[in-house]
Amino acid sequence: MEEVIIIGSGPAGLTAAIYAARARLNPLVIAGNEPGGQVTLTNEIENFPGFPDGISGMEMYGLFQRQAERFGARIEPDIVEAVDLKVRPFVVKTTSSVYETKSLIIATGSAPRRLNVPGEKEFTGRGVSYCATCDGFFFQDQHVAVIGGGDSALDEGLFLTRFASRVTIIHRRDQLRASKILQERAFKNRKVEFIWDTVVEEILGEEAVKGLRLRNVKTGQTSQLDVSGVFVFIGHVPNTSLFEGQLELDANGYIVTDRYTRTSLPGVFACGDVQDPRYRQAITAAGTGAMAAIEAERYLAELSAEAPAATG
């Protein structure tokens, strides 16, 4: 029987692991199908305090992991297939084992939102990408499109200028959501251009992506843009399908927590992007990870205080 299982190994999950391990709860982390989470897809993290020169997401993941293991956290490269939160102890079923645990910390993060247009599925991996760090290299001296107007679109679009000859950012409005510093960098970069008030209607190609069919949302006019790559950065959806019907989720599928990371079920805590539609930063994920572990520790202490004394 585990004291605490942590599902997910991004900044939230691994920070929870560091705190839970130091609290001598011997935490088990199920790393999931994307160990390290979304930070590992980030080329350079410039806003995590303590790294004044920036750090790559992969390097950060390595450091978090080392720190958690140093205090005894066990990190399993496994994937959770089902959880049963209706029974006590909770049951966590992975691809290789079935675990029982007194408490659970959910740090399953979120996944890139899809455009849901024709061609997207067919050309994923053949010109359609959700990760510039992973795939930018393949577009040396080519023209690529970036979809979105937030921090991710601009950050990743700027990163793509290292490889691509031209980066066209297509945004559905005429105002960017991205932070001012990224806007300034993008407007200054000669390889970056913008198409405003425009959405993608179809991704075109044969073997691989050849272009986009676009529609101006103000005029209704359609046009075609020839590109060999499309990078989609239009936000995220929380990874909560495992918990549907077992925990309270909000209208967008995020786990509802109180200000102490507690979910609708005592003993189950959630941290990081899976419960945060608002900030979604590595630093805030790490912060809520620490909170969840501290709360789990308190919950377990109360649980053992309530347990009837063993008779002998």
Q: Which of residues 193-212 bind ligand NAP (CB under 6 A)?
A: 199
Supply 49's token pair.
Answer: 């305090």
Q: Are 238 and 255 in contact (CB under 8 A)?
A: yes
Q: Contacting ligand NAP (CB under 6 A), which of 172, 185, 191, 210? A: 172
Q: Which of residues 114-153 bind ligand NAP (CB under 6 A)?
A: 147-153
How far is the C-alpha of 83 from the C-alpha of 25, rounded, in Å? 20
Q: Are 20 and 293 in contact (CB under 8 A)?
A: yes
Q: Which of residues 21-50 bind ligand NAP (CB under 6 A)?
A: 47
Min dist CB 283 to ligand NAP, Å, is 10
How far is the C-alpha of 265 from the C-alpha of 268, rounded, in Å? 6
The question of whether 131 is a catalytic residue gets the answer yes
Amino acid at 242: L
The question of whether 135 is a catalytic residue gets the answer yes
Supply 98's token pair.
Answer: 């079935």
Q: Which of residues 253-282 bind ligand NAP (CB under 6 A)?
A: 279-280
Specify the residue, 74 or 177, whose C-beta has the smaller distance to ligand NAP.
177
Specify the residue, 78 or 155, whose C-beta has the smaller distance to ligand NAP.
155
Neighbours of 90 (CB within 10 A): 21
Specify the residue, 35 or 235, whose C-beta has the smaller distance to ligand NAP.
235
Min dist CB 147 to ligand NAP, Å, is 6
Residue 233 touching ligand NAP (CB under 6 A): yes
# binding residues, ligand NAP (CB under 6 A): 18
Q: For residue 167, what are the CA distances in angstroms to 35, 113, 151, 275, 291?
A: 29, 21, 15, 33, 40
Residue 185 touching ligand NAP (CB under 6 A): no
Instruction: Calculate helix-pair angle for 282-306, 11-22, nearest 10 degrees.
Output: 40
For the CA atoms of 217, 278, 55, 288, the dihedral, rounded to the nearest 10 degrees, stands at: -160
Residue 90 touching ligand NAP (CB under 6 A): no
The question of whether 155 is a catalytic residue gets the answer no
Specify the residue, 13 or 267, whose C-beta has the smaller distance to ligand NAP.
13
List residues binding ligand NAP (CB under 6 A). Answer: 47, 147-153, 155, 172-173, 177, 199, 233-235, 279-280
